[in-house]
Structures are given as structure tokens and as C-alpha cells.
Amino acid sequence: MGHLITVATCSLNQWALDFEGNLERILESIRIAKAKGAKLRVGPELEVSGYGCYDHFLEGDTYLHSWEVLAAILKSDVAQDMILDIGMPVMHKTVKYNCRVILCDGKIVCIRPKIFLANDGNYRELRFFTPWVPKKIENYYLPRMIQEITKQFTVPFGDTVVSTLDTCIGCETCEELFTPQSPHISMGLDGVEIFTNSSGSHHELRKLDTRIDLIKAATAKVGGIYLYANQQGCDGDRLYYDGCAMIVMNGRVMAQGSQFSLNDVEVVTATLDLEDVRSFRARVASRGIQAVHTEAYVRQDVQFSLSHPHMDSDRYLIPNKPREPFYHLPEEEIALGPACWLWDYLRRSKTAGYFLPLSGGIDSCATAVIVASMCRQVVKAAGEGNEQVIADARRLVGGKEDYIPTDPQEFANHIFYTCYMGTSNSSNETRKRAKDLAETIGSYHTDLNMDTIVSAIHSLFSLVTGKTPKYRVHGGSNTENLALQNIQARLRMLLAYLFAQLMPWARSKEGGLLVLGSANVDESLRGYLTKYDCSSADINPIGAISKTDLKRFIAYARDNFDMPVLDEFLEATPTAELEPITETYVQSDEADMGMTYDELSQYGRLRKVERCGPFSMFYKLFHEWGGYLRPTEVAAKVKRFFFYYSINRHKMTTITPSYHAEGYSPDDNRFDLRPFLYNASWKWQFNKIDKAAERLEQEGSAAENSNP
Ligand SMILES: *[C@@H]1O[C@H](CO)[C@@H](O)[C@H](O)[C@H]1NC(C)=O
Ligand SMILES: *[C@@H]1O[C@H](CO)[C@@H](O)[C@H](O)[C@H]1NC(C)=O
Ligand SMILES: *[C@@H]1O[C@H](CO)[C@@H](O)[C@H](O)[C@H]1NC(C)=O
Ligand SMILES: *[C@@H]1O[C@H](CO)[C@@H](O)[C@H](O)[C@H]1NC(C)=O
């Protein structure tokens, strides 16, 4: 005889401090869960306030409004006859905590503060919250507005679990899953059968499997049902929370939600048999012995049952079967994640569209294709009847009442503006590539020649100083050569903002456009970009994506979006086209930078992910490249990288806010905190590298000599 229950978890597109909208989405998720027959609904971490409130978590108002939202949930009809696990910040005895509030049938059962706080990479929870102590429980004095609704005066606050008539539920929050001593282990040994995990986890390329492995592992040994909830969308920052709400039982995935989606509310449910947990646990006899020795959790009893009331009705329920977890390819992740982020940014900023300077190169091409992917997502969601997407699309095309986006190109033409900003030194190939790409995507494309402005600035400078700088190919110095390139590069930024402000007006439309940047992560790391040129924009969807991944993405889009024009971009040599082309010279990025994009990715990972200074980077790369490079050659490369990295680090202070996608992102503002005035001679470090390289050379030649 089985013991079937239906449980629900969800992904919500919450927005920091949008209490009104957040409440709506929470209620909607409860409604859907209820309609699907679930008695337990779990929501994402800090869903009431939004996860990304940052220093607003230091403000009393955030706590006040969170209670107001909770009051509205308690009062609503949908909150009755359900157990709800809701995430919000709570202040207890003037200390701030990141909490789960457990409601049952319109009353508060307990408040569970987070014990392990996430505090690395993009996370700074310790800046706002204090971690709670395992197993400790106190009384929480409810705010008066809540007392009036629930008629409760105090509720338990602390590390406790909830006993229903038929099972036992315990919560973990995000970071706790990643820590070696996760709460689910001791809870599981103590008889907890259902674990809820509420998270605010963001997208990073190729990282989903780590998360899914952790979630599967959580119940693979200890047994149990694991409900994972997450935010989904851009809640006002560089991060894209990537959903993937999931239900796992005894280490196997039973239901999985989408990773990227334009749906504001996605509810994932599963019908499961509690007896499967019990029999799974009975398989290992020694578990019983460990369990006996586990210190018990204090249980909060509720007179409520998750099981379907009449055993008879079980006959009509079909329990979920295990399924394999679903993963996107990395190139699909690039096609979907930044596209969904751009859509949220566009609709939430209430702007009229995006403006992008197209250079004919691969980076601006990738940005354009991501916008095209966004348009495809919008058309798909509208086709599925997503009312919110349709309403947002109607506003964007200028309030046509019965408009429904059905064609990505047609939709792009309303909201996407591209521009080729050429000079007499631009090649016909890049100009044509840009035009062909714009046609394929459907963007509203313009093509201009800015020679007159460039030469006006040249003349101005010559008039004032009496000097005329020359390009290197005409015998000018490096300084002159760079300055002349920068004039063009920076004028493009000025033109981009001018056109972004006025192009809708020129087409008799309302509003202004957001300017998109398209510097990739490797260029930023090396500093191979002009400060305040087209790399300065409002937002940048590819700023934390490597050149190598961008190329894979372009190849993917060529085949999957039916865009054969992208072949030409893949074949072209990357070039800034800021220097005149001569018979014998075409500017090339990799030659200019003195390092390849693949090398840059390696430097980037070692510097940030592996936390290497120059000396340890030298050693790691010596082991990796030693087969075909001499130690002194490796040393020279590492030193060159650190030299350019450090003289250019200041550029990261003004880098355009970029979609966070890569663990080695050099984003100075949130993710990669470093100085921006270095002594670029790295005297101490480089001396040590040189000595080591010399020694390795000697050892190497000694070894060669001893070989017959
Ligand atoms: C919940 O899941 C996340 C994965 O996003 C994990 O990092 C975290 O540790 C889990 N929380 C708990 C309490 O296990
Ligand atoms: C283009 O190149 C020519 C020389 O080949 C140079 O004189 C001219 O200034 C360049 N134009 C621009 C806009 O930089
Ligand atoms: C580019 O095309 C124009 C006209 O289409 C032509 O006059 C010009 O010579 C071409 N330039 C190059 C460098 O091929
Ligand atoms: C950088 O450090 C070296 C070694 O200490 C020193 O000789 C040099 O003057 C420093 N550079 C600057 C600009 O201070």
C-alpha cells in the first residue's frame, strides 16, 4: 500500500524590492501548486524581498515590507489548506537573518534562519545577515499586524523541523547544500523525510551539473524527498538566476523545471510515495545505528496531512517516475541565458529597445545574435500564450492593442537598431557583413561614414598644437598611432548614444534605446579595449563570455537559427580596423595583443578561479606548456600577461555592467575586487619567475646532455 503525496516547488522571476510584483508572483505560484493538488509549496530564497537587494537588506523598511507581504499571504484564501515554505529576511532581537517562514493553514509554524551564509564570488550574505547556530531555538515575537491575523503572539525561531500527521519536513537554504556538513544529513538521520532547499543561484556557464549533482547526492545516501526552488531572471543586477526548480527522491530526479524562461512563475510538482523513502532507508541497517546517535531536532507539530485524504483517491494518482536530468549545451546556455536577461532588462527598464554598433566582427555579431535569440524567445512565449510577454511586447511596439509577436525578424525590427560606423579605412567586407547580418536578424540598420567628424577632430588638434599625429604605417610613433585609433573608437560611443536617444524619434516612435556593449571577457582581462569607446554602453550581454565560447555560440546559431551568414563571421580574422589597411598590413587582434584568446582564457582561469599570483601561474603553465615551450618562453608569456593586465586594470572600474557568465570574469565592480593602480614591474614576483625559469632551463639542458 502506498502513501502518495503531491509536492510543489517553483522558480519565480522576483525583482529586488518590487514587493507588489513579488507578492503577485508568490500568490500565483501557490494557486498553481494548489490546482495541481500539492499540499506543500516551496519558494525561492528571499522571494518576498527579492534576493538581490544587497545593502537594502540593511534597511529596516525591507523587513517591514516583507512582513506586510507575508500578512497579505496569510490573509489570502490560497494560503489555506497548504503548507508554505516562504523566503524572507527577518530581524530577530535587532539582528538580521535570512529566513524561511513556514506557514500551515494560515498560521505561522516556525521561522528557520539560515545557518551557513553564502559569501564568495558574487555573494555577500555576511554583509547583511548573521548566521544562526545549529539546533538552537528561541521565541520570536511576531509583529502586531501578524498577531492580528493569526492570533499568535510568539512562534519558534531557529533550527527546527516540522512534523505533520504523516511525515516530517526540514529546510536547508542555498549555501548549506554546498557545505560539507549539510543540515540534510543530520535531519535525514533524525527522520526528516522531505527537505526543502530554497536558493538564489545564478547562472554560470557549465555549472548546472555541479548543482544537480549536489542536489541528487543530498538524498542518494540519506534517502528522502528533496525540493529545490530558485529564482529565475534578472532581479536588477548582472546576475541571471537560472531556475531549474527540481524534485529529487532518493538521489533520482523526479521532476525538473526550465533553466531559462520568460515565464515569471513556473511551478514544478511531483506525486511521490513516502513509502519509497522509508523502504530506501531500510536498505542500510547501519543507518539505524547512526540515527540512534543523532541528536534529535525539536519538532513543530502540525495537525495537517500531506497525503491524499482518502486512500481510494490514490487510485487516480499517477506517481512520477525518475527521469534523467536535462542539461543545455554551453552554446545553448549562451543563446538562452543572456537573451532572457536582456528581455527582463528591457521590459523592466521601460525603454524602447536596444541599439548596437555592428563592426562586422565576431563580438558585436554575437551580441546581435543574442538579441535575435531574445526575439525568438519572445515569439515562442507569446505563441504559448504568455500574457505578460504579450503585454510587454505590445508596449514595445507602441501600444498596438491586438499585436502578437509571431515573427522574430518583424519583432526585432521594432526594438532592435544596429549601425555600422565606418570610415574610409573600413573594409567593404566588414560593412557588407554587418549589413547582411542586420538583414538576417531583421534589425533596423543604418550605415554611416564618420570620416568628416574624424578629420574635424584631427584638424582641431593640429590647429591648437601645430602638430599632426601620424599612423604607424605612415611613420608615426606608437603614441600617435594609438591616439588616432582612439579618436575613431570614442567617436563611435558618442554616436551610439546620440542614435540611441533619437532613432525612435526619427521613426516617429516613443522612447529611447539602451546601448549594448560587446567587449568579451578576454579583451577586458587583457585590457585590449579603449576606455569610453563602444565598450562603454548601458549593458553588455557578452562581457563575461570568452572568445572561444562566443565562436561556438555563433556556430550553434548558424545551424540552429538558420543563419548561414554567420559563417563569414567565423572565418574572418578578428580585427579592430582602426588602423589603415595597406598592401602588407592588416591589423589583427591576437598579433596586437601579443597573446592568443585561448591563452587569455587560461591566464584568466588561473588568476581568478585558481587564485594564482604571477609566480604560481608560471609554475602551473610550465607544467602545462613545458612540452613545447622553453621555461624562459613560458616566463616571458606570463610576465607579458601580468604587465598588460596590471597597466589596464583601471579599465575594469568603468566596465559596462555585463551578464555574469564566467568564473574568471574580471568585473571589478562586484565580482573580482582588485586594485587598479599596480606597480606593473612586478619586480619581486618577476625576479622569482626569472630565477626559476633559468634553473629549469639548466636542469633541462643537463637532462638533454645526459641522454645518449
Ligand atoms: C540548496 O541548493 C543549492 C544549490 O543551488 C546548494 O548550494 C545549497 O547548499 C542547498 N542548500 C542546502 C541547505 O542544502
Ligand atoms: C584612413 O587612412 C588614411 C591613410 O591611409 C589616413 O590618412 C586617414 O586619416 C584615415 N582615415 C581615418 C578616418 O582615420
Ligand atoms: C568598396 O566598395 C566601393 C563601392 O562599392 C568601391 O568604390 C571601393 O573601391 C571598394 N573598396 C575596397 C577597398 O574594395
Ligand atoms: C615599481 O617597483 C620597482 C621595484 O621596487 C621600482 O624600482 C619602481 O620605481 C616602481 N615603479 C614606480 C612607478 O614607482
Ligand 2: centre distance to CA 425 (Å) = 6
Residue nearest to atom 5 of ligand 2 (CA): 580
Question: Which atom of ligand 4 is the closest one to the Cα of 681?
Answer: 1
| Type of residue at 103 | L
Q: Is residue 681 part of a domain?
A: yes
Q: Calculate mean pLDDT across residues 433-455.
A: 97
- Ligand 1, residues at Cβ distance < 6 Å: 172-178, 182-184, 197, 199, 201, 211, 214, 228
Instruction: Give a three-class secondary structure readout of 335-402.
Output: HHHHHHHHHHHHHHHCCCEEEEECCCCHHHHHHHHHHHHHHHHHHHHHHCCCHHHHHHHHHHCCCCCC
pLDDT digits 0-9 by tens, 15-52? 999 999 999 999 999 999 999 999 999 999 999 999 99
Counting ligand 1 atoms within 8 A of each CB, the residue from 9, 115, 175 with the most, and so the one to mutate, is: 175
Query: Do residue 95 and residue 205 come from a single domain?
Result: yes
pLDDT recorded at residue 246: 97
Helix (H) or strand (E) holding 199: strand 194-199
Q: Which atom of ligand 1 is nearest to the CA of 230?
A: 5
Q: How confident is the model at residue 432 (pLDDT cuts 50, 70, 90)?
A: very high
* Domain that residue 422 falls in: 331-448+500-582
Listed residues 582, 605, 627: the one ending a domain: 582
CA distance linking residue 658 with residue 337, whole number of Å: 12
Domain check: are 551 and 609 in the same one? no
| C-beta of 681 in contact with ligand 4 (< 6 A) | yes
What's the pLDDT tens digit per position in 252-269?
999 999 999 999 999 999
- Mean pLDDT across the stretch 522-530? 93
Ligand nearest to the CA of 430: 3
561 vs 179, residue with greater confidence: 561
Ligand nearest to the CA of 680: 4
Distance separating alpha carbons of residues 118 and 343, to the nearest angstrom:
28
The length of the chain is 708
pLDDT band of residue 707 (cuts 50, 70, 90) is low
* Pair 174, 244 in one domain: yes
CA torsion sign for 494, 500, 506, 512 is negative
pLDDT above 90: residue 179:
no
The pTM (predicted TM-score) of the whole model is 0.94
Residue 587 lies in a domain: no
Kind plus residue range of the DSSP H or E element containing 83 = strand 83-92
- DSSP letters for 22-65: HHHHHHHHHHHHHHTT-SEEE--TTTTT-GGGGGGGGSHHHHHH
Please report whether residue 239 resides in a domain. Answer: yes
Best residue among 122, 161, 172 to mutate for probing ligand 1, ranked by most atoms within 8 Å of CB = 172
Best CA proximity match to 82, nearest among 170, 192, 25, 5: 5
Residues 555 and 678 in one domain: no
Question: For the residues 110-125, what does the mean pLDDT come to?
Answer: 93
d(CA 402, CA 284): 62
575 and 613, same domain (yes or no) = no
pLDDT at 175: 58
How far is Cα 84 from Cα 42, in angstroms, rounded to an integer?
A: 6
Of 311, 327, 343, which residue constitutes the final position of a domain? 327
Residue 340 to residue 354: CA distance in whole angstroms: 14
Q: Are residues 345 and 201 in the same domain?
A: no
Atom from ligand 2 closest to the CA of residue 581: 5
Q: Would 474 be classed as within a structural domain?
A: no
| Comparison of pLDDT for 605 and 703, the residue scoring more | 605
Residues with CB under 6 A from ligand 2: 423-425, 451, 454, 488, 580
Q: Within a domain: residue 486?
A: no
- The closest-lying atom of ligand 2 relative to the alpha carbon of residue 455 is 13
HSE-CB for 691 with a 13 A CA cutoff: 7
pLDDT of 688 reads 97
CA of 421 to the centre of ligand 2 (A): 15
Residues 122 and 147 in one domain: yes
Note whether residue 409 is domain-resident: yes
Residues 482-506 pLDDT 10s: 999 999 999 999 999 999 999 999 9
Q: In this structure, is residue 484 part of a structural domain?
A: no
Task: Name the band, by pLDDT with cuts 50, 70 and 90, for residue 706.
Answer: low
Please indicate, yes or no, whether residues 147 and 15 belong to a single structural domain of this protein: yes
Q: Give the CATH number, domain containing residue 409.
A: 3.40.50.620
Cα–ligand 2 centroid distance for 399 (angstroms): 46
Return the ligand 2 atom nearest residue 487 CA: 14
Question: Is 459 among the domain residues?
Answer: no
- Cβ–ligand 4 contact at 679 (below 6 Å): yes
Q: What proportions of the chain, in percent to the nearest 5, are helix, strand and coil?
A: 45, 15, 35
290-320 per-position pLDDT tens digit: 888 778 899 999 999 998 766 555 567 889 9
* pLDDT tens readout for residues 192-227: 999 999 999 999 999 999 999 999 998 998 899 999
Beta carbon of 93 within 6 Å of any ligand 4 atom? no
Closest CA to 539 of 356, 347, 352: 356
Q: For residue range 548-564, what is the model confidence (pLDDT) as tens digits? A: 999 999 999 999 999 99
CA of 444 to the centre of ligand 2 (A): 28
Mutate to test the pocket of ligand 4, among 643, 677, 681, 684 (most ligand atoms within 8 A of CB): 681
Please tell me the distance between residue 342's alpha carbon and the centre of ligand 3 in angstroms. Answer: 36
Say how many C-beta atoms besides its own lie within 10 A of residue 625's C-beta: 16
Percent of the chain with pLDDT over 70: 96
Compute, in angstroms, the gap from residue 476 CA to the centroid of ligand 2.
13
Closest-approaching ligand to the CA atom of 428: 3
Q: Are residues 335 and 394 in the same domain?
A: yes
Judgement on whether residues 128 and 149 belong to the same structural domain of the protein? yes
Instruction: Report how far ligand 1's centroid is from the alpha carbon of 174 (Å).
Output: 4
Q: Which atom of ligand 2 is nearest to the CA of 580?
A: 2
Q: Which atom of ligand 4 is nearest to the CA of 679?
A: 1
639 pLDDT more than 80: yes
**Closest by Cα among 269, 277, 353 to 39:** 269
Are 577 and 590 in contact by the 8 Å Cβ rule? The answer is no
Is the beta carbon of 154 within 6 A of some atom in ligand 4? no
As a whole number of angstroms, the distance between CA 129 and CA 113 comes to 10
Domain end residue (candidates: 280, 309, 327): 327
Ligand 4 pocket, 687 CB below 6 A?
Answer: no
Q: What is the pLDDT of residue 640?
A: 96
- Return the closest-CA partner of residue 260 out of 397, 373, 135: 373
> What is the structure's pLDDT at 310?
60
Number of domains in the chain: 3
pLDDT digits (tens, 9 = 90+) for 662-683: 999 999 888 999 999 999 999 9
Question: If pLDDT is split at 50, 70 and 90, which confidence band does 178 have?
Answer: low
Residues 227 and 280 in one domain: yes
According to DSSP, the residues that pair with 76 across neighbouring strands are none
What's the pLDDT band for 180 if we cut at 50, 70, 90? low
If one residue of 643, 646, 682, 683 were mutated to test the ligand 4 pocket, choosing by the most ligand atoms within 8 A of its CB, it would be 683
| Atom 3 of ligand 2, nearest CA residue | 580
Active site residues per annotation: 45, 114, 174, 359
Q: 10 Å Cβ neighbour count for 703?
A: 9
Q: What is the mean pLDDT of the chain?
A: 93
Q: What is the mean pLDDT of residues 65-81?
A: 96
Judge if 230 and 337 occupy the same domain: no
**Residue 687 alpha carbon to ligand 4 centre in Å:** 13
CB of 336 closer than 8 Å to CB of 226: no
Between the CA of 672 and the centroid of ligand 3 the distance, in Å, is 45
Which residue's C-alpha comes closest to atom 1 of ligand 2?
425
pLDDT reported for residue 367:
98
